[in-house]
A and B are shown apart, each in its own frame.
Chain A
Amino acid sequence: MRRIGGALFVIAGTVTLVFLILHWLPGDPAALVAGDTATAETIANIRAQLGTDRPLWSQYVAYIAGLLHGDLGTSFATREPVLGRLWAQVPTTMVLTLFSSAVALAAGVALGVVAAVHRDKWQDRTIQFVLLFLTSLPSFFLGILLILVFSVTLRWLPAIGNGSWRQLVLPVVCLGLITSGRLMRMVRSGVLDVLEEPFVMTLRGKGLRERQVLFTHVLRNALIPVVTVLGVLVGELLSGTVVVETLFARQGIGRMLVDALNVKDIPVVQGAVLLASIFFVLINMMVDLSYGWIDRRVRS
Chain B
Amino acid sequence: MPTRRGFAGMLVAAGLATPAARAQQQQPKLGGELQFGLDGAAVVTFVLDPHNSGFAPHNRVFRSIFDSLVVLRPDQSVGPWLATSWEISPEQRSYTFRLRTDVTFHDGSKFDAAAVKANLDRIHDPHNALVALPDIGPYAGATVLAPDTVRIDLSESFTPLLRNLSKTTLGIVSPTALQRYGNAIGQNPVGTGPFRFVSLTQGIEIRLARNELYAWTPPTATHAGPAYLDSVVFRNVPEESTRVAALQSRQVHAADGIPPQNIVSLRADPAFRVLQKELLNNNYTLYLNAARAPWTDPDIRKAVQQSLDIVALVKVIYLGTAPRAWAPLSPSLFASDEKALTNVWKPDPKQAAAVLDAKGWTTGPDGIRVKDGKRLTINFPDTQGNREKRLDVMQLARRQLARNGIELSIESQTAGAYNQKLASNDFDLSGASQFAPDPDVLRRLHLPDGRPETSVSKVDDAEISAWLRQATREPDGETRAELYHRVQRKLVEQAYAFPIYVLLYTIGTTDTVQGLTVDTHGFPEFHGAWLSA
Contacts and interface: CB of A to CB of B under 8 A. Distances in A.
Interface stretch (B16-24, B338-346, B412-420): B412-420
A42 B242 contact: no
Interface string A202-234: 000000000000000000000000000000000
Interface residues of B, number: 55
Interface stretch (A55-63, A100-108, A188-196, A259-267): A259-267
B365 interface: no
Nearest to A261: B414
A14 interface: no
Contacts of B186: 78-79
A78 B246 contact: no
Nearest to B451: A39
Interface string A27-49: 11101101111111111011001
Given A79-B184, A249-B242, A262-B414, A160 B37 contact: yes
A42 B451 CA distance: 12
Interface in B179-211: 183-184, 186-187, 201-204
A259 B385 CA distance: 13
Given A247-B239, A262-B44, A159 B420 contact: no
A256 B203 contact: yes
Contacts of B414: 25, 27, 261-262, 264
A37 B444 contact: yes
Interface in B349-405: 383
Interface in A243-274: 246-249, 251, 255-256, 259-265
Given A151-B245, A160-B242, A40 B419 contact: no
B416 A263 contact: yes
Contact of A152 (B235, B245, B444): B245
B382 to A, nearest CB: 13
Given A37-B54, A79-B183, A259-B45, A42 B415 contact: no
Contacts of A160: 37, 235, 237, 242-243, 246, 251-252
Contacts of B454: 31, 36
Interface in A1-31: 25-29, 31
Interface of A: 25-29, 31-32, 34-43, 45-46, 49, 75, 77-80, 85, 88, 140, 143-144, 147-148, 151-152, 155, 158-161, 246-249, 251, 255-256, 259-265
30 contacts: A26-B421, A27-B417, A27-B419, A31-B419, A31-B454, A35-B52, A35-B54, A35-B131, A36-B55, A36-B434, A36-B454, A38-B452, A40-B452, A42-B129, A45-B129, A75-B45, A77-B47, A79-B183, A143-B242, A155-B250, A159-B246, A159-B251, A160-B235, A160-B251, A246-B238, A247-B242, A249-B239, A249-B242, A261-B414, A265-B45
